[in-house]
Structure 1
């Protein structure tokens, strides 16, 4: 399905839930809606599904205006973060329910095939109350996939699962949806999850669509500081910087040789946490720091430190034992820095330099 939102917005009295936005998710692919809580992800998905009607703009499905068409008359599947299954039905009947409504043939074979794909074929005779949280969510996903809808909406479907189950199901979802033809919309608050799922990402913030495109492109070339903040975990390190010939200068007199587009005014420099290291490399810039907090998470250590340029977070591979107020020298490659203009728009990113033509809209 080619879904198009045409200047679609939603207001309730004086409150704006969604500012007018235009979005055409890539058909037959996964689009991730990325944003913090209350960014507008669920509201947008409800409009896509037909559960809510926008107060302005249109919703088009394959060129047909479906703005006022209720959800019952649309072929849409939706999975929520809660485990929503029919409690009085077995797993088999839960998965079969959309097929029975359409009067399809060969239901038993289709249900068992779908249950096998989600590794719950041994549970088809049980009821939801007899299942774990992960198993219940697999049932909900199986029912949505069995419907074979051209549009599948997944509203943070893994958020209530433990870490191991989330990792397992996330990998399976990517494989499952890669095999189908449905347009899949997946909402998440986690930048890491968007990167793992791949496909396309739409970044939302306070009801506004900030950027949409291939996930890797949006991550590596955020169009603004707002996108960079939303699509970074831990948050991108940002510094007020002054332009200098051939580059810019961070607070504390740290000089960074970095090509920038011609222009006036100071900039905001950015550096991802993973770009900081404790090992010196030729051409890298040193930042003397004092450790304020060190957190070990999985195979990485997150070091929060104070430098002359400002507070930073460094994501260091491996386990590093750092003590409070320990002096630590950090290094970064100047080519890995970002630069944003006074208006917040991206000027330079690693491997890319903005060079808009005269009069070009930014």
Structure 2
């Protein structure tokens, strides 16, 4: 098990990672998400042993590896730019980190990994003869070749087109499971994080602001920042009253914490399949409409004009701009989060 305790790192006295604490169990897949510049990549480099000078301790299975050189940590690292050696074949790239082993063992390991990533027919090609997706598969195979106990992946598929990225995201968990390796996957895309990981850690300005199982974070993001990062960007301010809450879209008869301040608009607003489910009615006007395939995205603005949220619906049902609408919202789907104001 990897354990980070009070990890702190600064560039020229500017904090980049601030008092980070978390663990990664054997074979666990953890995603780290956050906006650009929040410290995600720096944290990976610290774990890999590539950023000396940090405070705090890093241990693996109870052994302190804080001062251990990177090559002795048995931790693999894969970047977005794959960094293959252009003068080496695919097979030689994959086997590069296996020097010192018997030749027969190297050949067997390389062949096994080529089969794993679906490239046995490209063993003798060179990186400039490969597509972007093929190069990423080779880079991943090379990272797995020394049998690391932990693999660190820093937005490895960010440069690939959507269809290819989706295919690799489907395959990566299978490869990690077969190899029995734990992984930390850094991304700014919450959908990627959910495909790869069972647990998630959210960073903001160098600090961990939320961590736990993916489903827990989605069901209870606790803050407007985390909700937005997880693809739930639409919320409205409310005021708690003795009878429920008041919003610019209407009143809702539901108990709410007075100190939180924002009401998340659920993605399924307006989709009420059970007529017995209690709902609140939100009133607004369509002020913008554009295609967000396969849906039509409407911007719903309060009648007072001071609040808005976006709502996706089938294109053939979408009302035109200027239409006044009333949307039912299931009371059991409402979530309250802390405001970023």
Q: Structure 1 length normalisation: TM-score?
A: 0.85
Comparing 218-227 and 153-162, the one that deviates more: 218-227
Q: Distance in 1 between matches of 2:165 and 2:340?
A: 38
Q: Which runs of 5+ in 1 are unaligned?
A: 345-362
Q: Distance in 2 between matches of 1:26 and 1:246?
A: 46
Quote the residue 2:289 is aligned against: 294
* 1:198 Cα deviation from its structure 2 partner: 3.4
Q: Distance in 1 between matches of 2:317 and 2:129?
A: 43
**Any conservation in 2 of the 1:29–1:181 contact (CA below 8 Å)?**
no
**Any conservation in 2 of the 1:10–1:16 contact (CA below 8 Å)?**
yes
Q: Distance in 2 between matches of 1:203 and 1:100?
A: 38
**Any conservation in 2 of the 1:28–1:180 contact (CA below 8 Å)?**
no
Quote the residue 1:352 is aligned against: none
**Any conservation in 1 of the 2:285–2:324 contact (CA below 8 Å)?**
yes
Distance 1:259 1:65, change over 3 A: same
Distance 1:319 1:219, change over 3 A: farther
Q: Distance in 2 between matches of 1:187 and 1:341?
A: 25
Quote the residue 2:280 is aligned against: 285
Quote the residue 2:251 is aligned against: 255
* 1:156 Cα deviation from its structure 2 partner: 0.2
**Any conservation in 1 of the 2:76–2:151 contact (CA below 8 Å)?**
yes
**Any conservation in 1 of the 2:260–2:336 contact (CA below 8 Å)?**
no
Q: Distance in 1 between matches of 2:165 and 2:260?
A: 43
1:190 equivalent in alignment to 2:189: yes
Q: Distance in 2 between matches of 1:266 and 1:121?
A: 55
* 1:1-362 alignment runs, 5 A limit: 2-103=1-102, 105-231=104-230, 233=231, 235-252=232-249, 254-260=250-256, 264-265=258-259, 267-272=261-266, 274-277=267-270, 282=275, 283-308=278-303, 310-316=307-313, 321=318, 323-340=320-337
Q: How big is the alpha-carbon RMSD for the aligned residues of Structure 1 and Structure 2?
A: 2.4
* 1:315 Cα deviation from its structure 2 partner: 3.0
Comparing 131-140 and 171-180, the one that deviates more: 171-180
Q: Which runs of 5+ in 2 are unaligned?
A: none
* 1:122 Cα deviation from its structure 2 partner: 1.2
